[in-house]
Amino acid sequence: MSLDTTVGPRKGLRERVGQSRLGTLLVLAVTAVVVMAGAYMVDKPTETKAGGVTAVDVAPGDAPPPTIGKPAQDFTATTVDGKKVSLSSYKGHPVWLTFGASWCAACVAEAPDIQAAYQKHLPEGVVVLAINIREDSAAVGDYDKRVGLTFPTIADPDEAIASTYRIYGIPAHFFIDASGILRLVKTGGQSPAQMDAALKETNR
């Protein structure tokens, strides 16, 4: 009795080469997808529950960094409506110094809540002073009008004030008591409850 040893027609050279090329292209395609997904995850901004934070690269200033329990660094600037102000001019009032920008999604998201908190705590003498970085006065003034912000705002296009306060992410919030002492520092979007708590802590 003889055994049938036939295993079917052998694949030709062209067929084997074609399948090999297809396999290589498939591997390359899958690798590209994995790399792109990884890059997306790395570049995706970190967000907090209260609205997130946008990282900014600001060169530190020459002055000592802001320190809780010590006087907040004074500065003089002109608001977008043409009024010259200094931080020290608000002595006797709790000051909420907030850094942001109209191009920062987290800042835009919390702006209505800052406006509401400002109106709520205005009778207590609380001052809200906003610093918009990397924007000129015209852009900041237009943004304030569109959003309906009524507290004083300063444009900081060259990041002079931001560098003094060592800003590394926006929104950033500095709560200063009536005697000019820095009491709290918060980076990232704040909820209305967090805003109220910080102002209460500053104004006690």
Q: Are residues 62 and 135 in the same domain?
A: yes
Q: Are residues 129 and 177 in the same domain?
A: yes
Q: Are residues 185 and 112 in the same domain?
A: yes
Q: Are residues 132 and 188 in the same domain?
A: yes
The string of pLDDT tens digits covering residues 106-138 is: 999 999 999 999 999 999 999 999 999 999 999
pLDDT mean values, one per 10 residues, the chain (204 residues): 44 50 49 36 34 88 91 96 95 97 96 97 96 97 96 97 96 97 96 96 87
Question: Do residues 167 and 54 lie in contact, with contact meaning Cβ atoms separated by under 8 Å?
Answer: no
In a domain, 1, yes or no: no
| Residue 178 vs residues 107, 162, 183: alpha-carbon distances, Å | 25, 22, 10
Which residues contact residue 198 at a Cβ distance below 8 angstroms, ignoring those fewer than 6 apart?
96, 173, 175, 184, 186, 190
Q: Are residues 184 and 122 in the same domain?
A: yes
Domain with 79 in it: what CATH number?
3.40.30.10
Q: Are residues 62 and 40 in the same domain?
A: no
In a domain, 28, yes or no: yes
Q: Are residues 86 and 138 in the same domain?
A: yes
Q: Are residues 33 and 85 in the same domain?
A: no
Q: In the prediction, which pLDDT does 53 show?
A: 93
Q: Are residues 37 and 64 in the same domain?
A: no
Token pair 């997808």 in the structure block, residue: 33
Q: Are residues 64 and 29 in the same domain?
A: no
Q: In the prediction, which pLDDT does 61 show?
A: 84
Token pair 């304030």 in the structure block, residue: 144
In a domain, 188, yes or no: yes
In a domain, 3, yes or no: no
In a domain, 49, yes or no: no
Q: In the prediction, which pLDDT does 30 show?
A: 42
In a domain, 88, yes or no: yes
Sheet with 182-187, strands from edge to edge, namely 153-156, 127-133, 95-100, 172-176, 182-187
Where in the sequence is the domain holding 166, given as residue range(s)?
Answer: 54-202
In a domain, 176, yes or no: yes
Predicted TM-score (pTM) of this structure: 0.74
Report the domain count for the chain: 2
Q: Are residues 109 and 189 in the same domain?
A: yes
Q: Are residues 124 and 169 in the same domain?
A: yes
In a domain, 101, yes or no: yes
